[in-house]
């Protein structure tokens, strides 16, 4: 039991460190890609005849966010079903919380990651949907000019939320690895964090997705 706590602690520490690194401004592609989406919407908002292109591009992003949300929802439902016995054992006969074991902690973290991915993805769908209506307005119309600022904010928020949802879903991998084989958790966490960090780094020659 003590050894399991060590592996769980190391795994969660690596994931927490990665999440902390994500907040560094301008050093990761997340912030730069958000700026790219803003600039794209401004450009298509002044280019006549770009309405169909804008709507199609936003529709593709909407479908991608929808698939991510569906994946997170299915994984969340499956995890709840599998974790139900452990969650039940986490409470005593009077309904109060009992001592948390390493497996229960991992299952709670897993549920939290999947829930965060689901909510982020659903909100990305919402913002992409709003931006699609704005992008479909005629470029030279008064309504388009009035709503362009909102459209810029919507595509930025949608992109950031989609990125958050995707990353939370990927971070599920080391948690699952720890559940299956505790000693493999820290290794899986380091590998996943290193891969995600390398992809998140912004390259001036070209950003990697």
Per-residue pLDDT reduced to its tens digit, 96-131: 555 678 888 898 899 999 999 999 999 999 999 999
CB neighbour list of residue 128: distance below 8 Å, 6 or more residues apart: 58, 61, 62, 65, 154, 155, 158
pLDDT of 207: 44
Instruction: Give the residue extent of every domain in the chain.
Output: 30-180
Per-residue pLDDT, 34: 83
d(CA 125, CA 145): 23
Q: What is the spatial distance between Cα 140 and Cα 202, in angstroms, rounded to a whole number?
A: 35
SS3 206: coil
Q: At a CB cut-off of 8 Å and minimum separation 6, what does 46 contact?
A: 139
Do 193 and 15 touch, CB atoms closer than 8 A? yes
pLDDT at 3: 78
Separation between Cα atoms, residue 123 and residue 129, nearest integer Å: 10
CA distance 121 to 123: 5
What span, in angstroms and rounded, lies between the C-alpha atoms of 117 and 110? 11
Phi-psi region of 48 (alpha: psi -120 to 50; beta: other; left: phi over 0): beta
Q: Are 9 and 109 in contact (CB under 8 A)?
A: no
pLDDT means over runs of 10, the chain (209 residues): 85 89 60 85 92 94 96 92 69 56 88 95 96 94 94 94 92 94 93 84 51
Q: What does the pLDDT read at residue 130?
A: 96
d(CA 92, CA 83): 17
Beta bridge partners of 28: 201
For 189-203, write each residue's pLDDT tens digit. 999 988 888 777 665
Considering just the CA atoms, what is the radius of gyration of the chain in Å? 21
DSSP 8-state class, residue 3: H
The vertex-190 CA angle with 187 and 194, nearest 5°, equals 145
Q: What is the pLDDT of residue 174?
A: 95
């Amino acid at each position: 039991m003590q050894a399991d706590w060590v592996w769980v602690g190391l795994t969660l520490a690596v994931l927490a460190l990665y999440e902390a690194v994500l907040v560094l401004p301008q050093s990761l592609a997340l912030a730069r890609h958000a700026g790219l989406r803003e600039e794209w919407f401004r450009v298509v908002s002044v280019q006549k005849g770009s309405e169909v292109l804008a709507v199609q591009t936003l529709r593709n992003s909407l479908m991608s966010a929808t698939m991510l949300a569906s994946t997170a929802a299915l994984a969340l439902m499956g995890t709840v079903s599998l974790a139900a016995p452990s969650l039940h054992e986490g409470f005593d006969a009077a309904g109060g919380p009992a001592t948390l074991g390493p497996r229960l902690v991992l299952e709670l973290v897993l549920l939290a990651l999947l829930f965060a991915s689901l909510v982020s993805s659903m909100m990305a769908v919402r913002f992409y949907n709003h931006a699609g209506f704005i992008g479909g307005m005629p470029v030279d119309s008064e309504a388009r000019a009035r709503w362009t600022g909102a459209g810029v904010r919507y595509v930025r928020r949608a992109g950031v939320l989609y990125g958050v949802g995707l990353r939370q879903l990927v971070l599920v991998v080391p948690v699952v690895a720890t559940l299956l084989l505790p000693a493999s958790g820290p290794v899986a966490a380091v590998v996943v964090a290193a891969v995600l960090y390398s992809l998140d780094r912004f390259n001036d020659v070209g950003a990697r997705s």
